[in-house]
Amino acid sequence: MSRLFSTLKLRGLEFRNRIFVSPMCQYSATDGFPAPWHMVHLGSRAVGGAGLVMTEATAVTPEGRISPQDLGIWSDAHARALAPVAQFIADQGAVPGIQLAHAGRKASTAAPWRGGHPLATGEGGWRPLAPSALPFMSGHPLPEAVAESDMDRVVMQFRDAARRSLDAGFKVAELHMAHGYLLHEFLSPLSNRREDQYGGTLGNRMRLPLRVAAAVRDVWPRELPVFVRISASDWVDGGWDVAQSVEFVRHLKAAGIDFIDCSSGGLVPDARIAAGPGFQTPFATQVRREADIPTGAVGFITAPFQAEQIVATGLADAVLLARELLRDPYWPLHAARDLGADIPWPVQYDRAKPR
Ligand SMILES: Cc1cc2nc3c(=O)[nH]c(=O)nc-3n(C[C@H](O)[C@H](O)[C@H](O)COP(=O)(O)O)c2cc1C
């Protein structure tokens, strides 16, 4: 019996298996609105058998976009445009999820295939926001520090985006608190040098992310789970680390967060990251054990038996795959065959199912 293909239940929501599509920016939206690309891209991964199909980082406010081509959900019209995508995913038996994001000081950059450089205002860019006026790296614009009086606005932007996501039909909201974007920037002492109640001690650095988590939990139905993606480590001495992550996750759990998606890095450009197969899985294992909460492992998970081992031995409750699912959107269907799990194929494709 494959554990990877066993169901997972979080609150009242059941996932058909433990293979989740990791959020992936497509840089293909216009003014935050999805294109046919998003339907085909996300839809084919639902057809391919994943248990959860998550959108890319979807901005809660226009200035929270990484690039001008990011998805957004800062208006009801955006939610209406995303609704058919969520519906199609659900129709295939996958859970539709949305990653809610604010890019902080890493906002306003060109799409990778346009160079990825910071965009000046004349090129369609804008001045990014951050906990402190510290640029991501030299050559990046000086961000504007969020005023203490503006914290309520940030919390409301996430809460309103969550409410709209629900209207759009998403069943999982994942809060992006990783990869050096706004909420991670508040957590890490390397990017947060504030001297008010939002900076300094760990309790103060956690304050805004925890307020966001509580506000989203408040509007998200009791029977549906809220995920948080964290960077468990900055991979830099003196930065955010696993011990702080565990403490933070204990607070997230108390705030009603149900699942921690354990990534790492992204805060500073000069981190030395020992990337390789399963390199972040130990973070998922440690957070799961020490904070007693379901976790997802992500990063260089590519082989069916590797994914099976992670779930079957209790290293994590689910796996999130990104690049491997770009190579093969039908990876779950193929992995099931390798692992001897007999799962249904989409009826339209049933004649192609190996028997
Ligand atoms: C094209 C692309 C876009 C990505 N965009 C996002 C994103 O929007 N949000 C996020 O949290 N991670 C993003 N990531 C990171 C992935 O979700 C994942 O954590 C990372 O690629 C490691 O997993 P992998 O080895 O399976 O690719 C992106 C990765 C890729 C390749």
3-state secondary structure string across 10-40: ECCEEECCCEEECCCCCCCCECCECCHHHHH
CB 193 within 8 A of CB 199: yes
355 pLDDT exceeds 90? no
- Which atom in ligand 1 lies closest to the alpha carbon of residue 321? 26
pTM over 0.95: yes
40 pLDDT exceeds 90? yes
| 111 Cβ closer than 6 Å to some ligand 1 atom | no
Q: For residues 95 and 106, what is the distance between their CA atoms, to the nearest angstrom?
A: 29
Q: Rounded mean pLDDT of the chain?
A: 98
- Give me the pLDDT at residue 312, please: 98
- Which atom in ligand 1 lies closest to the alpha carbon of residue 320? 26
Alpha-carbon distances, residue 275 vs 98, 104, 271, 334 (angstroms): 26, 25, 11, 26
Annotated active-site residue 181? The verdict is yes
- Give me the pLDDT at residue 169, please: 99
281 Cα: distance to centroid of ligand 1 (angstroms): 15
Alpha-carbon distances, residue 68 vs 32, 97, 153, 168, 182 (angstroms): 8, 22, 21, 22, 17
Long-range contacts of 41-47 (CB under 8 A, 24+ apart): 42/85, 42/88, 42/89, 43/85, 43/88, 43/89, 43/92, 44/329, 45/21, 45/94, 45/325, 45/329, 46/88, 46/89, 46/92, 46/93, 46/94, 46/96, 47/92, 47/329, 47/330, 47/346, 47/349
Task: Tell me the backbone φ, ψ of residue 72, rounded to 5 degrees.
Answer: -140, 160
For a ligand 1 pocket test, name from 20, 25, 327 the mutation site with the most ligand atoms within 8 angstroms of its C-beta. Answer: 25
| 224 Cβ closer than 6 Å to some ligand 1 atom | no
Ligand 1: which residue has its CA nearest to atom 22?
Answer: 299
| Structure tokens, 203 | 């309790």
**Bridging pattern class, strands 129-130 and 259-263:** unpaired
* pLDDT tens, residue by residue, 112-150: 999 999 999 999 999 999 999 999 999 899 999 999 999
Find, among 106, 110, 103, the residue nearest to 64 by Cα.
103
Ligand 1: which residue has its CA nearest to atom 31?
Answer: 323
Residue 347 burial by Cβ neighbours in a 10 Å radius (0-12, 13-18, 19+): exposed
- Give me the pLDDT at residue 253, please: 98
* pLDDT tens, residue by residue, 198-227: 999 999 999 999 999 999 999 999 999 999
Reported as type and span, the H/E element at residue 213 is: helix 202-219
- Give me the pLDDT at residue 148, please: 97
Contacts of 142 (CB under 8 A, 6+ apart): 133, 135
CB 228 within 8 A of CB 177: yes
For a ligand 1 pocket test, name from 21, 22, 42 the mutation site with the most ligand atoms within 8 angstroms of its C-beta. Answer: 22
Looking at 65-106, which runs of residues are DSSP E strands? 95-101
- What is the residue-wise DSSP string for 329-341? TTHHHHHHHHTT-
Ligand 1: which residue has its CA nearest to atom 29?
Answer: 24
Amino acid found at 50: A
DSSP percent split of the chain into helix, strand, coil, nearest 5: 40, 15, 45
Find, among 265, 262, 255, 29, the residue nearest to 155 by Cα.
255
- Give me the pLDDT at residue 349, please: 97
| Structure tokens, 349 | 């494709």
23 Cα: distance to centroid of ligand 1 (angstroms): 6
Exposed e or buried b for every residue in 7-46, given b needs 16+ CB within 10 A? ebebbebebbbbbbbbbbbbbbbeebbbeeebeebbbebb
The domains located in the chain, with CATH, are: 8-352 (3.20.20.70)
Looking at 209-351, which runs of residues are DSSP E strands? 226-231, 259-263, 295-298, 318-321
- The C-alpha torsion from 212 through 214 and 217 to 218, rounded to 10°, is -110
- Give me the pLDDT at residue 44, please: 98
Q: For residues 89 and 76, what is the distance between their CA atoms, to the nearest angstrom?
A: 20
Q: For residues 85 and 169, what is the distance between their CA atoms, to the nearest angstrom?
A: 9
CA 28, 33, 39, 45 dihedral sign is: positive
291 pLDDT exceeds 90? yes
Find, among 69, 174, 64, 50, the residue nearest to 113 by Cα.
69
* pLDDT tens, residue by residue, 78-118: 999 999 999 999 999 999 999 999 999 999 999 999 999 99
- Which atom in ligand 1 lies closest to the alpha carbon of residue 112? 1
DSSP structure class, residue 183: H
- Say which of 181, 198, 330, 349 is annotated catalytic: 181
- Give me the pLDDT at residue 200, please: 98
